[in-house]
């Protein structure tokens, strides 16, 4: 640790098992490029310590540039699984980039995207999709959403036209998929957005898709809703009922 080379110190840090020592090094090492601190953070397993670094505890940023600190926070995020902490990082309103080379903005974007990439909680992802100020982060969170109800909420409440269109296209596929899978609840939910005579890319109606696969509950719901039983698809692979 007395060696003047950060590379050598970082190599030594990677051999340390003690969480207290690792946290101390992450707080106090004086190498400006953050090499040694990064090595220490990469060995930390304590969730509380990692959360503190990921959320920007200023003690871990002393003596280094703001873009370097953002990078160290990203290293901590990669080691985290706490969904609430990851959502906080993704939603953080990071100050605007004032660097000439744009390095701060790049580091901030990497931090946000890394947090979203680690997220799996559908409710928290929908919060990011609706509330994050960064458009690329909203898009990334939306792409990870699979829950039809939450996707519908994002489409209804988001003011970003491009994002709304992307979500609508995603829901259209989910609507067709629900007929194939026999998911009545999703069909009932999305019927508020799409017509029940919606067709897939091959011209097949929901009724055709559901009846071909024996999805009785879906077929019953569609018939009770008055869909056209005489519809045919373009290539006539499916005939009228």
pLDDT tens-place string over residues 151-197: 999 999 988 899 999 999 999 999 999 999 999 999 999 999 999 99
Of 77, 132, 68, 74, the closest CA to residue 103 belongs to: 68
What pLDDT does 114 receive?
A: 98
Query: What is the phi/psi pair of residue 207, to 5°?
Result: -65, -40
224 — pLDDT class (breaks 50, 70, 90): very high
- Percent pLDDT > 90 in the chain is 74
What pLDDT does 233 receive?
A: 75
Other Cβ atoms less than 10 A from the Cβ of 238: the count is 19
The mean predicted confidence, pLDDT, of the chain is: 91
What residues contact 134, with CB distance under 8 A and at least 6 apart? 109, 112
52 — pLDDT class (breaks 50, 70, 90): very high
| Lookup result for tokens 């703001």 | 66
Over the stretch 184-198, which tens digit does the pLDDT of each residue have?
999 999 999 999 999
77 — pLDDT class (breaks 50, 70, 90): very high
What pLDDT does 4 receive?
A: 62
What pLDDT does 234 receive?
A: 64
Other Cβ atoms less than 10 A from the Cβ of 155: the count is 19
The answer to whether 119 and 77 are in contact (CB under 8 A) is: no
What is d(CA 198, CA 206) in angstroms, rounded to the nearest whole number?
A: 7
Torsion, Cα 44 47 48 50, to 10 degrees, reads 50
Over the stretch 60-70, which tens digit does the pLDDT of each residue have?
999 888 999 99
What pLDDT does 97 receive?
A: 72
Query: What is the phi/psi pair of residue 205, to 5°?
Result: -80, 165
How many residues in total does the chain contain?
Answer: 241
238 — pLDDT class (breaks 50, 70, 90): low
What pLDDT does 210 receive?
A: 95
What pLDDT does 232 receive?
A: 81
Residue 230 pLDDT more than 90? no
What pLDDT does 235 receive?
A: 60
| Lookup result for tokens 């069909």 | 187
CA angle 127, 130, 134 (to 5 degrees): 105
The answer to whether 73 and 89 are in contact (CB under 8 A) is: yes
């Amino acid at each position: 640790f007395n060696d003047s080379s950060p590379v050598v110190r970082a190599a030594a840090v990677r051999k340390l098992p003690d969480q207290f020592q690792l946290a101390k090094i992450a707080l106090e090492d004086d190498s400006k490029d953050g090499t040694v601190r990064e090595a220490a953070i990469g060995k930390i397993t304590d969730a509380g310590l990692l959360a503190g670094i990921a959320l920007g505890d200023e003690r871990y940023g002393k003596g280094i540039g703001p873009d370097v600190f953002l990078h160290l926070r990203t290293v901590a995020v990669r080691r985290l699984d706490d969904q609430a902490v990851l959502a906080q990082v993704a939603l953080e309103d990071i100050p605007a980039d004032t660097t000439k080379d744009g390095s701060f903005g790049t580091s901030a974007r990497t931090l946000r995207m890394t947090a979203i990439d680690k997220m799996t909680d559908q409710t928290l992802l929908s919060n990011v999709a609706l509330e994050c100020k960064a458009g690329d982060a909203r898009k990334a969170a939306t792409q990870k959403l699979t829950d039809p109800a939450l996707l519908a909420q994002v489409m209804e409440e988001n003011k970003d036209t491009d994002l709304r269109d992307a979500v609508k296209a995603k829901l259209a596929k989910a609507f067709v998929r629900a007929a194939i899978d026999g998911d009545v609840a999703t069909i009932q939910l999305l019927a508020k957005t799409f017509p029940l005579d919606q067709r897939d890319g091959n011209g097949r109606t929901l009724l055709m898709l559901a009846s071909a696969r024996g999805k009785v509950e879906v077929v019953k719901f569609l018939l009770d809703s008055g869909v056209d039983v005489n519809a045919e698809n373009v290539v006539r692979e499916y005939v009228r009922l």
